Structures are given as C-alpha cells and as structure tokens.
Amino acid sequence: MKFFDTHAHIGLIHEDPIEQLIITQEAKQQGVDGILSICNNLHDFFQVYENLKTANNVYHAIGVSPSEVQNPGLDWENKIEQGLKLERVVAVGETGLDYFRKFGNKNSQVELFIRQLEIAQKHSLPVVIHNREAGKDILDILSNRIPDKGAILHCYSEDWDYAKRALDLNVYISFAGNVTYRNAKNLHDTARNMPLDRMLIESESPFMVPAQYRGKRNKPSFIHSTAEFLAGLRDIDQEECAQILRDNARSLFGLPS
C-alpha cells in the first residue's frame, strides 16, 4: 500500500537534519511516498526545506500559522513569495484561526489568514487550514475567499453537520490519528458519511499519534494505522482506501499519481 501524509511537522519530530532525512526515508520504506512538510513560521520553513532538499518524497507548504500572528516576521509576505518559487512547494499554510490559545487578537488573526488566502489564489495553490474553536469564522471567510484550488481542513475536529457545510465549498477534510480514538464519535460519524473523494489523511506528527502507537512520538511511518482505521469505518478494502486517499492528495497538490 502507498500513502500520502498531508501534514507532518518534520522539524518538530527531530531538530537534527540527518535525523529528519532518516524519518522521511523510514516513511518511504513503509509506503509513504508523499509527505507534506508543515512549519508554523517562515524561519523554520526555510531551515527544514534546506535540510530535506534531497528527500524526493517530501513536498512543502509555506505559510504563517495563527500562533505567529504577533510576530510573523519582517517582510513575511515577500518571503512567502520567495518560498513559492522553490521546487516541491505545493501549498500555502498552515494558516487559519486559533481562538483557543488567544494568539494576538481575532482581528489580527483574521487579517493574517485572509492575506494568505489571497496569496494562495494568486499562485493557484490550495491552502492548509488550522481551526481551533474558530469554525464559524473560518467558514464565513472561506465562503467568499476560498482559493480556486481549494482548501484542507487539517486534523479535523468538528462534527458531521459542520463537515456538510464545509463540503459545500471546495474543501477537503483531513483526518489525523485522533480519528482512531475510541471516544472520537464526531470524527467517526464524519469519516463514515463524507464523500471519499474529499477525504485525506495526515500524521500531524509529532502529535496525534494513532491509538495503535499510543505512548510513542508520532511520525509519518505510522500513518498506515489511520488509513486502516478509516477503511474499517467505510467497510472497504484497505488497499483501495489507501489508494483513494493517496490519489486525492496528489490530485489536490497537482502531482502525478
């Protein structure tokens, strides 16, 4: 089986560049032939990008997360523009809104989010969205500003009713290891009912480790466990499910299947 991990914080799994390469090669040996590397800030993006230049199974998103709203960096918009010229950069993000941590104020978060949606639209790229206790505002903003290439609601945490509203837009829903948790009934309901062609999986490593690996630090090579759980929810063959999820990701990011 082949897998595409649509959200991995490789730089947070391990700081050492050699260890980062080992992580990506280990994942490749486990069938993960595509990983979208995510960084919360631009300094980390350029550092991790340089560390993983030879990892041909790793693609990159560039953006500023809501956690960085008070200090996105000098000339951050131009730095995103520079990063988008690099090879294997296929998305903008992660961006979005986080009202749980109360980073800055809501208006500043919204402004940062909207500007990155505009950049994604300008460059015909999808956007990776972080949502924590900001679901209504995110859908309100996307209803008018979603990029033509679409958006990913990563590490989905809402319910099926919310998903139905999101799916009216050009939105993909990405499930992380927390979908495998016994008490995640809202996620089970969503994954069981949503269209398969709008579903993605991610490791969200080093966080959200699948139940099978509880107690360990998460990494992309564990993503098979999430794919297998989703196949069980949908009552379809595991290899077929993995293929659909992989094809969805590669199509969204404009990559050959």
Domain membership flag for residue 257: no
Overall domain count for the chain: 1
Q: What is the tens place of the pLDDT at every residue in 167-226?
A: 999 999 999 999 999 999 999 999 999 999 999 999 999 999 999 999 999 999 999 999
pLDDT of amino acid 17: 97
Output the CA angle 33-217-28, nearest 5 degrees: 15
Domain membership flag for residue 112: yes
Residue 29 burial (C-beta neighbours within 10 Å; 0-12, 13-18, 19+): exposed
Strand, helix or coil for residue 90: strand
Q: Which CATH number belongs to the domain containing residue 96 in this structure?
A: 3.20.20.140
* Residue 91, phi then psi, degrees to nearest 5: -160, 160
DSSP string across 205-246: BTSS--GGGTTS---GGGHHHHHHHHHHHHTS-HHHHHHHHH
Q: What is the tens place of the pLDDT at every residue in 65-109?
A: 999 999 999 999 999 999 999 999 999 999 999 999 888 999 999
Domain membership flag for residue 65: yes
Predicted model pTM = 0.97
Strand, helix or coil for residue 150: coil
Containing domain of residue 10, as a range?
A: 3-252
Cα distance between residue 28 and residue 24, in whole Å: 6
Q: Report whether 38 contacts 7 (CB < 8 A).
A: yes
Phi-psi region of 118 (alpha: psi -120 to 50; beta: other; left: phi over 0): alpha
